[in-house]
Structure 1
Amino acid sequence: MSPLMQLTPENIYRFLHKRQLIDNHAVVKGNFMVIPANTRNTILKIMVGKDNSLFAKQMGKDPVSVSQFQREINAYALFKNNAEFSTLAHLVPDMLDYDDENNILITKLLPDAKNLSEYYMLTKNFDLTLAREQAHILSACHVVPDAKTDTSGFPKILPWVLRLHQFRAADFFVGNQASTEIIQLIKDNSVLQNALIDLADSWQYTHLIHGDIKWINFLVTTNDTNQLTQKLIDWELADIGDPLWDVAGLLQSYISIWVLGFDNANPYSNT
């Protein structure tokens, strides 16, 4: 395995220039800024004016990261090349390029966007229009691939939480004691563990799914008519699976914040 070329704020311009992805005239005028983000992946936001900004994500070389990189690239390929998924193309950021030697993905950056969690925390209002659009996005995603569509790039595996009974608690989040203890509590609860096994047995490998639906993966931005709209990001866990998994992820986001509550004394205050 060749060593990974690590993206940094210092070398990102050279990488983008080599691939003809950067507006050199804007850079010469001083419109160039790189903002790194602190996540498990290497994330760089490249600001080159409002309409030319870029988002770079680099994943690791370990087997899990490589698999997740390939799943995201395969998802974008479906949106671009297969008619049954063409509706999704405008519901995700534009993919501009990728480097499969170094696990780098370049998409268009939405510079003024906020993720849905940030937006709701800021507005303190559950916007029904946005909620309906989330349903529309999931509906566009949850399509059974055509028989001629190549889905061999997706692993077709159960989510890890439905496979707890197959592993030790410490196998999932190595070095994270808190997560290990929570998983062990689940494994020690026979009622809950059996319920998860039943869910695994009923899993359907039928539709394209995002696999990691939660508020932070919806970006709220504005369209050409200055109306709020959303893009669905982070397709690292995309797979052919059960669409109810994505629906459950979205419902979980709403239920969790309702339980925590903007105003616990009035559970309907934000509806």
Structure 2
Amino acid sequence: MLGRPEIVGYLIDRGLLSPSHVVGDDLAVLDFSRRHVNFAVTTTGGPRYFLKQARDPAGRAALAREAAVYRHFQDSDDLPGILARYHSFDVELGVLLLEFGRENTTLRGACLDRRRPSVTGAATAGRGLARFHQLTGSADAPLPPPCPPWVVRIHRPGSRILQEFSATNIELIRIIQAHPRFGGLLDELADGYEETAFMHGDVRWDNCLLMVSERGRSTRMRLVDLELAGKGDAAWDVGCFFGEYLGSWVLSLPVTAGAMDSALIGTAAHPLDAMQPAIRAFWRSYEKEYERGTGRKIEPAFLRRAAAFAGGRLIQMAFEHTQEAPQMTSQAICLLQLSLNVMERPAEAAGHLLGIAA
């Protein structure tokens, strides 16, 4: 396992950094470890690298899968504007090495670190995601097999999921299983899932890197974390993007009693009506770029499916919210409540919650 002291030498040995970067004192090694051991290496005016290292065999397999996705697209003309530059996957050490440009924030920062979410950031994300869904890549480097979202089968969990989840996560599964409508709605999501495009599989604000100008306008986006990317349903990615806004709204409500009510709506730290202009900008940019690239308009049914998939993303957020929680939280219950409403009435959710006519 490479630690912070070994990272610079690893890059110098591969000719990706020079001793002058170290002598010039313009180099920084930043730790962004989460599920993997991650380091960002930045230089002033020079290259910027990101190294992902696996902690265990499962993580190594995930990074090998991500590397296969990068290899599939490394010769694509569209790749430089959407994904990081792929350098290598060190099989022996389990290290995925990527190079980035001048991106300086995530979409989360552009949405939550200001009074209103960035409209230009959302529009940039919409264009980028639509382009991403049209990538084809190289036939010589086949894509890994698809990874359908686990959440659509969460009411019938396998033994592996139960081993990875916390006790509070398992309590959430029991709540879903006990509800008379949840299982059927999740089955409908699974039945409506279509493997018709190249999809990211894990769209969330933290995985959208933005280049933001000094005037605060977003000019470019790169998608990161491609471990789940492959053949799949573009509507799932779009729905996950919608779900990020809805979930952030719910998690900003001062909920204490375990359910949302009308009295709480106006007390959110991140009000939904302040998010809707960004949601609409994302969707309009996605529609426009999709039509430009394919010559076809998006069918209305796609938006309804994406809105329903937003309910699936809300369930995921409930599990993420309770992964480390010692007991069930009111916010998690509210996320489940909203997910149920969205999946039951996706067209209404698109209009009333997202601010988009379905």
Fold shared by both chains (TM-score > 0.5): yes
* Partner amino acid, structure 1, of 2:186: L
* Partner amino acid, structure 2, of 1:157: C
What is the CA deviation profile of residues 236-256 of structure 1, one whole-angstrom value per residue up to 9, with x for unaligned ones?
A: 111211111101100001122
Do 1:27 and 1:48's aligned partners in 2 also have CA atoms closer than 8 Å? no
Q: Which residue of 1 aligns with 2:354?
A: none
Q: Which residue of 1 aligns with 2:45?
A: 50
* Partner amino acid, structure 1, of 2:245: Y
Q: Which residue of 1 aligns with 2:35?
A: 40
Partner-residue secondary structure (3-state), 1:95: strand
CA shift for structure 1 position 200: 1.4
CA RMSD of aligned residues (A): 2.9
Please identify, of 252-261 and 177-186, the stretch whose mean Cα deviation from structure 2 is larger.
252-261
What is the CA deviation profile of residues 73-111 of structure 1, one whole-angstrom value per residue up to 9, with x for unaligned ones?
A: 1222233224xxx32431222223331332212222457
TM-score with structure 2 setting the length: 0.64
Q: Which residue of 1 aligns with 2:66?
A: 72
Q: Please tell me whether residue 113 in structure 1 is matched to residue 104 in structure 2.
A: yes
User: What CA distance in whole angstroms lies between the structure 1 residues aligned with 2:66 and 2:160?
Assistant: 27
User: What CA distance in whole angstroms lies between the structure 2 residues aligned with 1:130 and 1:179?
Assistant: 32
Query: Which of 125, 134, 137 is equivalent to 1:134?
Result: 125
Do 1:55 and 1:107's aligned partners in 2 also have CA atoms closer than 8 Å? yes
Q: Which residue of 1 aligns with 2:3?
A: 8
Do 1:209 and 1:246's aligned partners in 2 also have CA atoms closer than 8 Å? yes
Q: Which residue of 2 aligns with 1:264?
A: 266
Please identify, of 37-46 and 120-129, the stretch whose mean Cα deviation from structure 2 is larger.
120-129
Alpha-carbon spacing, 1:267–1:18, altered in 2? closer, same or farther (3 Å): closer
Query: Which of 234, 244, 247 is equivalent to 1:253?
Result: 244
Partner-residue secondary structure (3-state), 1:216: helix
CA shift for structure 1 position 173: 5.6
Query: Which of 43, 68, 80 is equivalent to 1:89?
Result: 80
Alpha-carbon spacing, 1:130–1:29, altered in 2? closer, same or farther (3 Å): closer
Partner-residue secondary structure (3-state), 1:167: coil
TM-score with structure 1 setting the length: 0.83
Partner-residue secondary structure (3-state), 2:181: helix
Alpha-carbon spacing, 1:203–1:93, altered in 2? closer, same or farther (3 Å): same
Partner-residue secondary structure (3-state), 2:31: strand
Do 1:204 and 1:241's aligned partners in 2 also have CA atoms closer than 8 Å? yes
Do 1:141 and 1:208's aligned partners in 2 also have CA atoms closer than 8 Å? yes
The count of corresponding residues between Structure 1 and Structure 2 is: 261
Q: Please tell me whether residue 181 in structure 1 is matched to residue 171 in structure 2.
A: yes
User: What CA distance in whole angstroms lies between the structure 1 residues aligned with 2:122 and 2:225?
Assistant: 19
User: What CA distance in whole angstroms lies between the structure 2 residues aligned with 1:150 and 1:190?
Assistant: 47
- Percent identity between the two aligned chains: 23
Alpha-carbon spacing, 1:198–1:94, altered in 2? closer, same or farther (3 Å): same
Q: Please tell me whether residue 21 in structure 1 is matched to residue 12 in structure 2.
A: no
Alpha-carbon spacing, 1:144–1:120, altered in 2? closer, same or farther (3 Å): closer
Partner-residue secondary structure (3-state), 1:34: strand
What is the CA deviation profile of residues 23-58 of structure 1, one whole-angstrom value per residue up to 9, with x for unaligned ones?
A: 221212233332212411101122332322322111
Query: Which of 198, 211, 218 is equivalent to 2:201?
Result: 211
